[in-house]
Amino acid sequence: MTRVKRGTIKNKRRKNVLAQVKGFRFGRSTKEAMAKDALMHAGAYSFAHRRDKKGDARKLWQVRISAASVRLGISYSKFMGALKKADIKLDRKILSDLAKNNPETFARVHAQVIK
Q: How many domains does the chain have?
A: 1
Residue 90 exposed, middle or buried by CB count within 10 Å (0-12, 13-18, 19+): middle
Question: Would you state the pLDDT for residue 4?
Answer: 81
Residue 60 within a domain: yes
Q: Give residue-wise pLDDT tens across range 69-93.
A: 999 999 999 999 999 999 999 999 9
Residue 5 maps to a domain = no
Residue 83's domain comprises 10-113
DSSP class of 89? -
Round to whole Å and give the CA distance between 86 and 113. Answer: 6
Whether 35 maps to a domain, the answer reads: yes
Query: Of 16, 60, 48, which is closest to residue 8 (Cα–Cα)?
Result: 16
Does pTM surpass 0.85?
Answer: no
Which residues, in sequence order, are CB contacts of 67 under 8 Å at separation 6+? 99
